[in-house]
Amino acid sequence: MSTPTDSLCDVAGIEVGHFTDPRRPTGCTVVMAREGAVGGVDVRGAAPGTRETDLLEPGNTVQTVHAVLLSGGSAWGLDAAGGVMRWLDEHGIGLAVGPARVPIVPAAVLFDLHVGDARIRPDAAAGYAACAAASRQAPAQGNVGAGAGATVGKMFGMAGAMKGGIGSASVRVGDFTVGAIVACNALGDVVDPGTGRILAGARQSDNTLADTTAQLLAGRTPGQILPGTQTTIGLIATDATLDKAQARRLAQVGHDGLARCIQPVHTTSDGDTLFALATGRVATPPPMTVLCVMAAEAVARATVRAVLSASTMKNGGLEWPAAADLAAP
C-alpha cells in the first residue's frame, strides 16, 4: 500500500491534475480514472453549469466514466472538457463504440469571470494540460486549478469577499478509502464545522468578519447578486465497488459535508455540484452507511482546506484576503 497523502489520490485508480492560467486567476482540475469508474452526480445549487450529467442517471446506458473536469470560467470553462477527451483518446482511453473510443468526461464549472480579464478562461488546451499534469501525488491546494480564481463571502458584494480555493482530503475505515476534492467559490461563509468559527467570508468595513447568516437573520439586505456567479464544485471517490445508484447516493450525502462548512449553501446564485466515482478496487461488499459518513467527512475537510490553503489575491483596486492572511498579526 502506498503512503497515505490525506487527499483524493489515496483512492486507488484515481489521478488528479491541475492547470492554472498564468495570465489571470483561473484554471481547471481533472480527476482521471484511466481504467474507468462508476459515476454519479448530485446538483443542489439552483444555477449550475454542467456537462454529461444525464448519462450518470442510474437508468441510463453508459456505466463507466474516464475523467471528471472541474473548471473555472463559468459556462465557457466547459470547453476544457474537449481537451480532456482529446488527451484520453490519444492514450487509448474511452468507451469502445464500434470502430472508435469515446472518452466519457462529465464536467462542472464555477464562476470566476469577475477576477481579471473575463476573456481569459479555460479552454480545450487547458483541459489537455491538466491531463498531462495528472498524477497519483497529492494535488496542490489553494489558488490552483479550478480554485485559482475562487472567492467566498460575496453576499454583500465582491469588495468584502475573501479568497476561496481548492482543497482535498481522504478518510479510511477498514478496507475502504473515500477521498474528496472541492473547489470552494461559495456565496456564503466557510466555517470550521468542529467549532463553528468562521474561517473566511463576508467582511465588514473594518475587515472583521460580518457573519453572513447572522446579518441576514437580523434583516440586512443582500447585495446585488447575479445568478450563477458563485458555485462550489467537487468530487468524491472511493475504492469500493458500487453501482450507479450507490454512486449517486455518495454524491448526495457529500452535500452534507458542504452544508456543515458553507453558510448559506445551495443558494439560488450557486450551482453547487458534486460528482462521485467508484473505482471498484475493493471487492468486499460496501458498507454504504459507513461510506456515506466518510464521504460527508471528506467533503467537509476538503472544503475547509480549500480556504485555509488559499493565499490573498489582488486585482485592480480590490483585494480578497485569504483566511491565513487575515488571521495573521
Closest to 85 measured CA to CA, from 109, 108, 66: 66
Model pLDDT for residues 183-204, shown as the tens digit of each residue: 999 999 999 999 999 999 999 9
**Residue 249: its pLDDT value, please?**
98
Q: Is the pLDDT of residue 3 over 90?
A: no
Which of the four CATH numbers 2.102.10.10, 3.60.70.12, 3.40.50.620, 3.40.250.10 does domain 8-327 have? 3.60.70.12
Mean pLDDT along residues 109-136:
96
Rounded mean pLDDT, 244-253: 98
What sign has the CA pseudo-torsion 41, 12, 19, 184? positive
pLDDT at 154: 95
- Tell me the CA distances in angstroms from 154 to 84, 212, 215, one per residue in order: 31, 9, 13
**What is residue 19's predicted lDDT score, i.e. its pLDDT?**
98
Quickly state the pLDDT bin for 317 (edges 50, 70, 90).
Answer: confident
Q: pLDDT value at position 156?
A: 95
pLDDT at 301 over 60: yes
Q: Of 142-146, 149-153, 316-320, which gets the smallest average pLDDT?
A: 316-320
Q: In this structure, how many other beta carbons lie within 10 angstroms of the beta carbon of residue 297?
A: 21
86 burial type by CB count under 10 A (0-12 exposed, 13-18 middle, 19+ buried)? middle
Share of the chain above pLDDT 90, in %: 91
Single-letter code of the amino acid located at 25: P
pLDDT at 228: 73
SS (H, E, C) the chain: CCCCCCCHHHCCCCEEEEEECCCCCCEEEEEEEEEEEEEEEEECCCCCCEECCHHHCCCCCCCCEEEEEEECCHHHHHHHHHHHHHHHHHCCCCEEECCEEECCCCEEECCCCCCCCCCCCCCHHHHHHHHHCCECCCCCCECCHHHCCCEECCCCCHHHCEECEEEEEEEEECCEEEEEEEEECCCCEEECCCCCCEEECCECCCCCECCHHHHHHCCCCCCCCCCCCCCCEEEEEEEECCCHHHHHHHHHHHHHHHHHHEECCCCCCCCCEEEEEEEEEECCCCCHHHHHHHHHHHHHHHHHHHHHCCCCEEECCEEECCHHHHHCC
Please report the sign of the dihedral spanned by the C-alpha atoms of residue 265, residue 162, residue 236, residue 92.
positive
Ramachandran class of 68: left when φ > 0, alpha when ψ lies in -120 to 50, beta otherwise:
beta
Q: How many CA atoms, within 13 angstroms, populate the side-chain half-sphere of residue 63?
A: 7
Average pLDDT, the chain: 95
Residue holding cell 479568497?
163
CA–CA separation, 204 vs 208, rounded Å? 5
pLDDT at 98: 87
Q: What average pLDDT does the segment 265-269 reach?
A: 94
Distance CA(151)–CA(158), nearest Å, equals 9
Give per-residue pLDDT as tens, 73-91: 999 999 999 999 999 999 9
For residue range 207-222, list pLDDT tens digits in order.
899 999 999 999 999 9
Q: What is the pLDDT of residue 328?
A: 61
- Across 289-301, average pLDDT: 98
Q: Does the pLDDT value for residue 114 go beyond 60? A: yes
Instruction: Give the model's pLDDT for residue 229.
Output: 82
